[in-house]
Amino acid sequence: ELRYASAAHPDALHVRRSDARVESLGSPAHGKGPALGLFEHAVFPTCRRSLAVDDLLLLFTDGLIEAEGTNHECFSEERLIAAVRQLTHLPAPELLKELITRIQSFCGCAEFTDDVSIVGVGIKRLGPAPHDSCPVSNP
């Protein structure tokens, strides 16, 4: 089980390789937390998600989905999900490389105008469920 919170970044993607499903992790019902460091007593609501072996999590900054194409449209989360869905068969390093190549092609340039970060986290094995020492917060 994954427990996560959001500090104003776009929702991560959960890639279920077993059936090529790509889903946004979504934000907690109470919304995303503020950007880290803005408020001393900020609250970051958390969520849970079940994972399986061979799943992949993709975390990224907004520069990835806000990259502008030659038609001045943003790459968008919808285009990102569609591209990832086509690449689920690739190992994570190749998937990330091909994804960046496709976004650069969409933009018509080799460099992005905004900062772009993308991280892939592959699930190789699952351990036993942890003790509930870190309960899910509900502000």
For residue 19, give the CATH number of its domain: 3.60.40.10
Q: Is the pLDDT of residue 108 over 80?
A: yes
Sign of CA dihedral 118, 100, 24, 19: negative
Residues paired with 68 in a beta bridge: 74
How far is residue 114's CA from residue 25's CA, in Å, rounded to a whole number? 23
Instruction: Please state, rounded to an integer, the average pLDDT across all residues of the chain.
Output: 87
Q: Is residue 134 part of a domain?
A: no
- Is the model more confident about 24 or about 6? 24
Q: Is residue 37 part of a domain?
A: yes
Q: Is residue 19 part of a domain?
A: yes
* pLDDT score, position 34: 79
Q: Which domain holds residue 74?
A: 2-122
* pLDDT score, position 107: 92
* pTM > 0.95: no
Give 63's pLDDT tier (boundaries 50, 70, 90). Answer: very high
Length of the chain counted residue by residue: 139
Q: Is the pLDDT of residue 94 over 90?
A: yes
Q: Is residue 101 part of a domain?
A: yes
Beta strands 118-122 and 46-49 are unpaired
Q: Is residue 136 part of a domain?
A: no
Q: Is residue 95 part of a domain?
A: yes
Q: Is residue 139 part of a domain?
A: no
The total domain count for the chain is 1
Buried/exposed code over 70-97 (b: 16+ C-beta within 10 A; e: otherwise): eeeeebebebbbebbeebbebebeebbe
